[in-house]
Structure 1
């Protein structure tokens, strides 16, 4: 066994994570913190709450316009908190709510096109940084990174957090 692997095994038996896992965890936390910092800046610039930006991201990333119930489940909020969030987003011009034509009880949340342009403009430096970084890797490396991110997101999506 290589000496680095021996150290990793010793660290595991002592109850602390291997050094490479620790470095990896620190890098992930730093990435999350940097994205959160930018998201909070957008929230501040738009007069929104950081949770509102998480809701907007969910609406943007959904294949079909989500319902408030889907947002509630994703964000781990109460129905009342989701309604307040949607009220703020609608008042700020970021979303609109529509009733389903087949079942008027069902509400769908849509990201307003002009608001998408505002978000796109704000987050352009983030997209450019991601593109500069992506350009440093070949297609095979990017495929591994994508596979890892997809697997991590699936694992994280399965985790349940306490509801508010």
Structure 2
């Protein structure tokens, strides 16, 4: 269900400021996580994409999800492989295809890196009623979908 409402300039300006600040904090947070993992922020986020996939993933799919070129993703996979986070495997259904398989056996070994972020999210969400959280969830789903369509998928 799409609803089009005029957005006053002052509201757009406020939400733009929130988005910029949130984005900056997120980038800084993931830069710190990546550093602790011995990765670049881009490599860490591509590893995250691979970890959230339902099994091994193609380099092309990582490129689609990240918005990076396939050449850039090849470099990311090379670095992740050298660091021991992924390995290239043959697709069992099509031996010509190469898949990227996450080799991190214990995903829990990274939990401590995200504990502060998880606690922050819990603290913030606890300030909202379940009904308000439903609206926030809808907002975030639409924001992610629209951002991906307008910025990543282009």
SS at match of 1:123: helix
Q: Which residue of 1 aligns with 2:150?
A: 159
Q: Which residue of 1 aligns with 2:39?
A: 48
Q: Distance in 2 between matches of 1:32 and 1:60?
A: 22
Q: Which residue of 2 aligns with 1:73?
A: 64
Instruction: Give the number of aligned pairs.
Output: 149
Q: Distance in 1 between matches of 2:151 and 2:23?
A: 19
Tell which structure's C-alpha radius of gyration is larger. Answer: 1
Q: Distance in 2 between matches of 1:36 and 1:49?
A: 11
User: Are the counterparts in 1 of residues 87 and 103 from structure 2 also a CA contact under 8 Å?
Assistant: yes
Q: Which residue of 2 aligns with 1:94?
A: 85
Query: Deviations for 1:44-86, whole angstroms, at most 9, x for unmatched residues?
Result: 2222111101202211333443210111222333333212211
Q: 1:161–1:102: structure 2 CA closer, same or farther, 3 Å change rule?
A: closer
Q: Tell me how far 1:30 sits from its aligned partner.
A: 1.0
User: Are the counterparts in 1 of residues 34 and 44 from structure 2 also a CA contact under 8 Å?
Assistant: yes
Q: 1:79–1:147: structure 2 CA closer, same or farther, 3 Å change rule?
A: same
Q: Which residue of 1 aligns with 2:97?
A: 106
Query: Deviations for 1:95-140, whole angstroms, at most 9, x for unmatched residues?
Result: 2332211111222223334462233221111111111111111110
Q: 1:146–1:65: structure 2 CA closer, same or farther, 3 Å change rule?
A: farther
Q: Which residue of 1 aligns with 2:110?
A: 119
Q: Tell me how far 1:162 sits from its aligned partner.
A: 9.2
TM-score between the two structures when normalised by the length of structure 2 = 0.83
Q: Which residue of 2 aligns with 1:133?
A: 124
Q: Distance in 1 between matches of 2:89 and 2:43?
A: 18
Q: Distance in 1 between matches of 2:9 and 2:90?
A: 52
